[in-house]
């Protein structure tokens, strides 16, 4: 179609005096997006055109005065749902939200209603959360091409931050808003820190993309502040994630990457999580990240196919402020004779760490030929010389009739 013809059609499409039949003809024949958007916004456009246009140019149709008339006189269920979503998002959510959520898919038939609700002047932070729970990411991304809508959603998130009400956003919504550049990383961290009773579930595609972003950001930055912040962000995320999704967290890196950078990230993440370890709700999450930490320590320092590096392992663990943890629970065990003989050559401080962390087990046989007993008795004697016996932190202070000593106060050997 010639440029002059397109220009003529555009003039007619924007003219509110153009009759309905002519607008319908232009809609059917024009391939120009600019022209068709103009038709969608023309008050004289008929019901048939507006219904079709709403699926392509929703914003133009919703702002068209002719759509308000269509709502009143058209009994099409699609039109009534679209109208309700735009005029009263909460009413739409109460009536259709459950169905919309459980019908979501990559070709979500509810996307247009969600988009209309996001454009609504009546949208609240709570309604925004419910709408985003059933919209596909692709539909949201198309909607966010409107910079005004992006700004509106950012402001609603800000409003929730300033409010004393319960935090309305779910884990998936916060991750999605961050991934689509609606909120900043600092705003995401705030939301994770003030998480309320919302859903801790997230679609795998959304969750893994976000985790990969953290991993890649950590791997590629030399910024010290960022290196310190990203493990805190990951810790906050993992703390509120459902435990069954945690295997997605480390799907994205290999054993070589674990040795080079991922181990550092997850050791720091684990440390930040320990402050919340009193909560039974995050026990499985802490245990899962702990396994990654244990694998890293073993891979880097205590590989069964090479000489164990006990001192290097201890110095690294100490640098991460994890020396008070029971590393035996993370899969680190030092019980065979060859390894214990090497540990016996390490400093008292290193030996004491491996004893206290449970890596030598919970008991030892009090015989002169037992290398384990030699180590723990030497450590115990050093503690006695340093602290005495009063309120001291001895490894053991008695021996059973069977010449067995307990290295763990929870283990009874008498």
User: How confident is the model over 309-351, as pLDDT tens digits?
Assistant: 999 999 999 999 999 999 999 999 998 889 999 999 999 999 9
Q: Chain-wide mean pLDDT for the chain?
A: 86
Predicted local distance difference test score (pLDDT) of residue 314:
96
Confidence of residue 407 (pLDDT cuts 50, 70, 90): confident
Higher pLDDT, 282 or 112: 112
Which of 281, 215, 271 lies closest to 243, judged by CA?
Answer: 281
Q: Which residues of 402-413 are buried (b: 16+ CB within 10 A; e: fewer)?
A: eebbbbbeeeeb
Query: Mind giving me the DSSP string for 44-87?
Result: T--HHHHHHHHTT-HHHHHT-HHHHHHHHH---HHHHHHHHHHH
Higher pLDDT, 326 or 196: 326
Average pLDDT over residues 208-218: 90
- pTM (predicted TM-score): 0.81
State residue 363 phi and psi, 5-degree precision. -155, 165
Q: What percent of the chain has pLDDT over 90?
A: 43
Q: Is the pLDDT of residue 158 over 90?
A: yes
Confidence of residue 414 (pLDDT cuts 50, 70, 90): very low
Q: Are 5 and 31 in contact (CB under 8 A)?
A: no
Total Cβ atoms within 10 A of residue 272: 18
CA-CA distance, 57 to 132, in Å (whole number)? Answer: 20
Which of 335, 338, 329 lies closest to 357, judged by CA?
Answer: 329
- Per the listing, tokens 């994205």 go with 252
Q: Are 354 and 323 in contact (CB under 8 A)?
A: no
CA-CA distance, 27 to 318, in Å (whole number)? Answer: 71
CA distances from 366 to 267, 355, 403, 405 (A): 36, 15, 5, 7
> First CA to last CA across the chain, in angstroms?
96
Q: Which two tokens stand for residue 253?
A: 């890196």
Predicted local distance difference test score (pLDDT) of residue 108:
65
Predicted local distance difference test score (pLDDT) of residue 54:
84
Average pLDDT over residues 79-102: 90
Q: Would you give the DSSP letter of residue 166?
A: P
């Amino acid at each position: 179609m010639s440029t002059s013809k397109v220009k003529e059609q555009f003039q007619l499409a924007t003219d509110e005096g153009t009759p309905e039949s002519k607008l319908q003809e232009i809609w059917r024949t024009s391939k120009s997006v600019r022209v068709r958007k103009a038709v969608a916004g023309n008050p004289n456009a008929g019901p048939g055109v507006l219904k079709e246009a709403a699926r392509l140019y929703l914003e133009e149709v919703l702002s068209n005065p002719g759509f308000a008339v269509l709502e009143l006189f058209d009994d099409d269920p699609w039109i009534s749902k679209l109208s309700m979503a735009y005029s009263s998002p909460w009413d739409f959510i109460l009536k259709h939200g459950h169905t919309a959520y459980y019908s979501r898919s990559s070709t979500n038939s509810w996307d247009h209603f969600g988009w209309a609700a996001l454009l609504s002047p009546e949208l609240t932070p709570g309604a925004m959360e419910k709408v985003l729970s059933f919209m596909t990411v692709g539909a949201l991304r198309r909607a966010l091409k409107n910079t005004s809508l992006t700004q509106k959603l950012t402001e609603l998130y800000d409003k929730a931050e300033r409010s004393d009400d319960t935090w309305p956003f779910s884990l998936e919504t916060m991750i999605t808003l961050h991934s689509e550049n609606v909120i900043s990383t600092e705003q995401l961290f705030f939301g994770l820190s003030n998480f309320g009773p919302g859903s801790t579930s997230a679609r795998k595609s959304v969750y893994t993309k976000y985790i990969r972003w953290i991993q890649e950001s950590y791997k590629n930055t030399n910024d010290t502040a960022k290196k310190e912040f990203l493990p805190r962000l990951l810790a906050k995320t993992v703390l509120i994630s459902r435990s069954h999704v945690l295997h997605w967290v480390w799907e994205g890196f290999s054993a070589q990457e674990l040795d080079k950078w991922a181990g550092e990230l997850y050791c720091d993440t684990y440390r930040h999580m320990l402050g919340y370890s009193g909560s039974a709700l995050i026990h499985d999450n802490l245990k899962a990240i702990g396994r990654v930490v244990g694998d890293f320590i073993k891979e880097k320092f205590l590989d069964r196919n090479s000489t164990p590096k006990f001192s290097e392992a201890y110095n690294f663990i100490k640098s991460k402020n994890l020396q008070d943890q029971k590393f035996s629970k993370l899969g680190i065990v030092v019980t065979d004779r060859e390894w214990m003989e090497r540990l016996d050559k390490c400093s008292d401080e290193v030996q004491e760490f491996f004893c206290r962390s449970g890596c030598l087990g919970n008991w030892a046989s009090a015989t002169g030929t037992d290398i384990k007993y030699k180590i723990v008795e030497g450590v115990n004697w050093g503690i006695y010389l340093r602290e005495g016996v009063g309120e001291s932190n001895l490894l053991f202070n008695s021996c059973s009739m069977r010449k067995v000593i307990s290295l763990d106060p929870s283990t009874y050997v008498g």
